[in-house]
């Protein structure tokens, strides 16, 4: 009997424990929630985008641009170094002919210097200077009358506008890039009196006809030269040029060890003598020593660097 009682108590205890175990099942943490459908799509799209970034890091347009840039770099490395002829020249500018646009050859990797002077050679200050394609150029003024042009990169053609002090209308130049030549220095001479020129600095005495000896006037060769006729015999015609171009309105000869210049202006330099009377058309014949260059004044305009050969 006692044995049965103990067995009953043990069985009852096991049943109570079993009930308690089933009752604690409600306290166990639930399984993770299912992701919402749209959130799942976002994660999948992000994973796919990151995968594409790893496999194809750039798009079609970016790939094409990089290909073109690489080809240009290879082409530039293989090209021969460009070596255009660097020239120095003069430009004659007339304030009354602003419609004429001189050409200036300026090229990348080279600088072009423009100096502005008046008809007497005195500096003429720059008031304003600008380039049409401003992003392609850099302009500097080391002094008031000098303009330095630096092309930053290759270009085809644009214009340069320069307004000088005391002028209302600007001078306009065509800026052109040439593979064959580039302007190193340009002296721009304006056919007018600049603000830096004092007119009382120049005292020109009236032209006085100094008749040479009577034997010279009676010389047939000199008479022919006064009339613009090339003498036969000892007289040698001279080639008169300025900036590489012939001076068609002037003529000259080498005769008896001297130069004879026929012009309707006046020879300022070197010192000369007027031989004989003016021709019917008003030209004078000037006798000068042998010299390579002349300075001529004509109609108020000073012409420098007149070359004789």
Rounded-to-integer distance, Cα 171 and Cα 188, Å: 11
Number of Cβ within 10 Å of residue 222's Cβ equals 23
pLDDT (0 to 100) of residue 66: 82
Q: Distance between CA 219 and CA 225 in Å, rounded?
A: 10
pLDDT of 38 reads: 64
Residue 50 three-state SS: helix
Q: For the chain, what are the domain ranges?
A: 85-195, 204-308
* Spatial CB neighbours of 191, under 8 Å, sequence gap ≥ 6: 92, 93, 94, 95, 119, 301
The per-residue DSSP string of 12-25 comes to HHHHHHHHHHHHGG
Round to whole Å and give the CA distance between 56 and 50: 10
Can you give the pLDDT at residue 266?
A: 85
* Residues composing the chain: 309
Residue 208, pLDDT score: 45
The fold adopted by the segment(s) 85-195 is Immunoglobulin-like (2.60.40)
Phi first, then psi: what are they for 142, rounded to 5°?
Answer: -65, -25
pLDDT at 3: 47
> Which residues touch 230 (CB under 8 Å, ≥6 apart)?
224, 237, 253
pLDDT given for residue 27 in this prediction: 57
Q: What is the pLDDT of residue 216?
A: 46
Q: How far apart are CA 139 and CA 137, in angstroms?
A: 7
**Which pLDDT value is given to residue 127?**
94
Per-residue pLDDT tens digits of the chain, which is 309 residues long:
444 444 444 545 555 444 444 445 555 555 555 555 667 777 888 887 777 777 666 777 877 888 888 888 887 776 666 677 878 888 888 888 777 788 999 988 888 999 999 988 889 999 999 999 889 999 999 999 999 999 998 898 999 999 999 998 999 999 999 888 899 889 999 988 888 887 654 545 444 444 444 434 578 888 888 888 888 777 888 888 888 888 878 889 898 888 999 988 888 777 788 887 787 778 889 988 888 888 888 777 777 778 888
Q: What is the pLDDT of residue 79?
A: 66
A 10 A CB-CB count for 82 gives 12
Burial degree of 303 (CB within 10 A; 0-12, 13-18, 19+)? buried
pLDDT of the residue at 28? 58
pLDDT of residue 123: 92
User: What span, in angstroms and rounded, lies between the C-alpha atoms of 151 and 160?
Assistant: 12
CA angle (65 as vertex; 62, 71 as ends), nearest 5? 140
Question: CA geometry: angle at 268 spanning 293 and 247, to 5°?
Answer: 50
């Amino acid at each position: 009997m006692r044995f049965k009682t103990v067995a009953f108590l043990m069985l009852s205890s096991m049943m109570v424990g079993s009930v308690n175990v089933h009752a604690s099942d409600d306290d166990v943490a639930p399984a993770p929630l299912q992701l919402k459908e749209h959130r799942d799509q976002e994660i999948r799209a992000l994973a796919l985008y990151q995968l594409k970034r790893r496999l194809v890091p750039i798009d079609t347009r970016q790939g094409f641009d990089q290909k073109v840039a690489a080809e240009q770099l290879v082409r530039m490395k293989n090209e021969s170094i460009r070596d255009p002829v660097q020239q120095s020249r003069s430009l004659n500018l007339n304030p009354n002919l602003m419609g004429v646009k001189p050409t200036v050859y300026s090229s990348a990797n080279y600088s072009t210097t423009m100096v502005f002077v008046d008809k007497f050679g005195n500096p003429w200050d720059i008031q304003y200077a600008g380039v049409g394609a401003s992003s392609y150029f850099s302009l500097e003024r080391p002094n008031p009358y000098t303009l330095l042009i630096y092309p930053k990169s290759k270009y085809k053609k644009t214009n340069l506008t320069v307004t000088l002090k005391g002028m209302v209308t600007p001078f306009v130049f065509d800026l052109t890039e040439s593979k064959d030549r580039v302007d190193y220095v340009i002296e721009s001479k304006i056919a007018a009196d600049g603000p830096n020129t004092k007119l009382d600095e120049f005292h020109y005495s009236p032209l006085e006809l100094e008749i040479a000896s009577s034997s010279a006037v009676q010389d047939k060769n000199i008479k022919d030269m006064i009339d613009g006729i090339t003498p036969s015999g000892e007289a040698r015609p001279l080639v008169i040029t300025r900036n590489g171009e012939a001076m068609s309105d002037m003529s000259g000869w080498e005769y008896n060890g001297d130069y004879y210049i026929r012009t309707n202006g006046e020879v300022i330099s070197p010192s000369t003598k007027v031989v004989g009377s003016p021709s019917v058309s008003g030209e004078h014949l000037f006798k000068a020593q042998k010299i390579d260059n002349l300075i001529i004044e004509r109609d108020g305009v000073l012409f420098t660097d007149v070359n004789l050969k």
